[in-house]
Amino acid sequence: MSLLTNVMDHALDDGYAEASARRASEGGGLPRTLRAKLGLAAGLVLAALVVTLGAAQARISAPVVAKEREELIDRIEDETSAADGLEKRIEELRAEVGERQRKALEQHGGDQGQLVALLSGATPVHGPGVKLVVDDAEETEDGGGGPRESSGFADTGRVRDRDMQRVVNGLWQAGAEAVAINGQRLTALSAIRAAGDAILVDNKPLVPPYTVLAVGDGKKLRTTFQDSADGQYLHVLQENFGIRTSISDQGEVRLPAAPSLIVRTAQPSETGAGTGDGRGAAETGKGTS
């Protein structure tokens, strides 16, 4: 109780009280002389002037900054519109070039013009065939050390470019007349490559699931592919790595024309000594690398 009483009676520590009394005796606190008061007032006025000038300057420059921002936005929108217009024009020119290439193949292909156009992917096709869907495993995890590991690849349940290469080549070998992956028509010069975990077909990235459409005798094409080495390879991927696959006959599938064609020509040898192979106006074939 004595301690509580002492605390209540001496709320201010004696040291603080002594320092406060000493400061009061020495003239501390607010300035007492006229000169000191004038100095304090001048300092306050100067500080207020600086704050006022800063606020005024910010207020004056605000419209200028806003105007520059609007001009920058307008320039960005104009340049974006111009870029969109150029991209549209590029697509139109590509379509025009592709159409002229298709007409050239049909015109100079002779009696086999339609066959040449079909094999080169120069024309859309439709007819009976098969639909093959290949998708990643339900749970894909990054890892390593498995039998599917190679340089730049992890042992996962993801579909790889080499898997799609074997699928497409297996369909060609089974008798497919035309093949497309996710609407991307394949030709004899098409390439299936990888960029990281993404699969590129002719440098265009594809997103799983990968839907492969092939034109041909549906039942025969499906049976021949499933019995082939490439079909068994796909079955092994399904059994060992959980990659999901399904194949079915289709009464009619529609494949678009290839977006761009590379036409190569060959000239017969003038000497006739057998140095030239005498191939025709367009080189076609099957096989995807």
The fold of 112-255 is Alpha-Beta Plaits (3.30.70)
- Give the pLDDT band of residue 213 (cuts 50, 70, 90): very high
Tokens representing 191? 């390439």
Q: What secondary structure, in 3-state letters, does 255-286 show?
A: ECCCCCCCCCCCCCCCCCCCCCCCCCCCCCCC
pLDDT digit string (tens) for 21-54?
676 665 555 556 677 777 778 888 888 888 888 8
pTM, two decimal places? 0.55
pLDDT digit string (tens) for 59-98?
777 777 777 888 899 899 999 999 999 989 988 887 787 7
pLDDT digit string (tens) for 91-132?
888 778 777 766 776 666 555 666 666 777 777 889 999 999
Bond prior to 63 in cis (omega within 30° of 0): no
Domain boundaries, the chain: 36-99, 112-255
Rounded CA gap, 92 and 219, in Å?
Answer: 39
- Give the pLDDT band of residue 270 (cuts 50, 70, 90): confident
- Give the pLDDT band of residue 225 (cuts 50, 70, 90): very high
DSSP 3-state of 205: strand
Rounded CA gap, 129 and 254, in Å?
Answer: 9
Q: Higher model confidence: residue 260 or residue 289?
A: 260
Mean pLDDT of the chain: 77
- Of the given ranges (7-16, 112-121, 170-179, 244-253), which has the lowest mean pLDDT? 7-16
Rounded CA gap, 260 and 190, in Å?
Answer: 10
Dihedrals phi, psi of 66, to nearest 5 degrees = -65, -40
The answer, yes or no, to whether residue 204 has pLDDT greater than 60, is yes
Cα separation of the two ends of the chain: 96
Tokens representing 95? 């379509």
Ramachandran assignment for 230, one of left (phi > 0), alpha (psi -120 to 50 degrees), beta (any other): alpha
- Judged on CB neighbours under 10 Å (0-12, 13-18, 19+), 13 is exposed
pLDDT at residue 170, rounded to an integer: 94
Instruction: Tell how far CA 210 is from the center of its chain.
Output: 16
Tokens representing 181? 């992956």
- Give the pLDDT band of residue 283 (cuts 50, 70, 90): very low
- What's the whole-number mean pLDDT along residues 168-197? 90
